[in-house]
Amino acid sequence: MILRVCERVALCGFERRFSSSNLNYNRPVTVCGLRSSYKARRRTRILSKESIQVIHALKLAKSPDHVLDAKLSRLLKPDALNLFDELLRQNELSLSLKATNTVFNFIREEVGHDTLLQLYADMILLLGRNKKIDMAEELFSEVLEKGLKPDTRMCGEMIGAYLQAGMTEKAMEIYGSMKEWGCSPDKFIFTVLITNLERNGQQQHQQLVESLKQDCLHYVEFPDRFLQQLQEDKLFLQGGGVGSCLHKIKLELKSHVTCL
């Protein structure tokens, strides 16, 4: 078995490869908007015929509620989960927020603790993309009211949602509460927080950046290498051809291991 380790850093819509003196492989750098660094862990990637029929019916129907009422209860739980993932992937606002929320409410009564947190995180990701911050906050509060503790991924999605809405203080509140909830920040969380705070350039934010960099020493493997790469990416953006889109750039650090 061969393990191939890939890291992808989202910067703004382009892709480049470079070699680092610390690394023995080429790493692609892709420019795009903020997105989750977490892979879906339940998806089979193969939609059943029944799930495909529901999606097609939703797109053609004048009333998604009628389609969901008629067809959703007939799906097996794995099919409903895959349907949920596919609606999230397509991110059609007019359809997804309505239909996905219905599917979410149907599924969450049937799944275990870990899958439930994934579902909440997925919904927060979708709502954050579409600037529905109030709805995302309601879901996050619902988790706490149920006595559940948010995990690292869920905190990362809520932080990302706040940052996309320009609510830096709220994002830092979530970060500050992570120790209380027993979860540790990861590279994705440090990347989006440091990048957004540095871009704002305010003095009080610079103090937060230094505090986050100190926290990296405790939570990130090879923190010096990680912080050096963040700085190199920042210099690349400032110096090379990103022009007027610079103010829209959000970094994502994505690592995944695939087996060949």
Q: What is the pLDDT of residue 100?
A: 76
| pLDDT exceeds 80 at position 201 | no
Q: What is the pLDDT of residue 229?
A: 92
Q: What is the pLDDT of residue 1?
A: 42
CA 116/CA 127 separation, integer angstroms: 17
Domain boundaries 43-184, corresponding CATH code:
1.25.40.10
Q: What is the DSSP letter of 26?
A: -
Percent of the residues in the chain that have a pLDDT greater than 70, as a whole number: 72
Under the banding of pLDDT at 50, 70 and 90, the label for residue 191 is very high
| pLDDT exceeds 70 at position 23 | no
Q: What is the pLDDT of residue 71?
A: 83
**Which of 2-16, 79-93, 192-206, 234-248 shows the lowest per-residue confidence on average (mean pLDDT)?**
2-16
Q: What is the pLDDT of residue 76?
A: 84
Per-residue pLDDT averaged across 47-68, rounded?
Answer: 83
Domain boundaries, the chain: 43-184
Q: What is the pLDDT of residue 143?
A: 93
| pLDDT exceeds 90 at position 172 | yes
Q: Are 45 and 59 in contact (CB under 8 A)?
A: no
**Which of 35-39, 48-52, 92-96, 109-113 shows the lowest per-residue confidence on average (mean pLDDT)?**
35-39
Q: Which residue has the higher pLDDT, 41 or 92?
A: 92
Per-residue pLDDT averaged across 221-250, rounded?
Answer: 68
Q: What is the pLDDT of residue 249?
A: 41
pLDDT in tens, 122-162: 999 989 988 999 999 999 999 999 898 999 999 999 999 99
Helical H runs in the chain? Answer: 49-60, 64-71, 77-90, 93-107, 113-129, 133-145, 152-164, 168-177, 187-200, 203-219, 223-239
Q: What is the pLDDT of residue 19?
A: 37
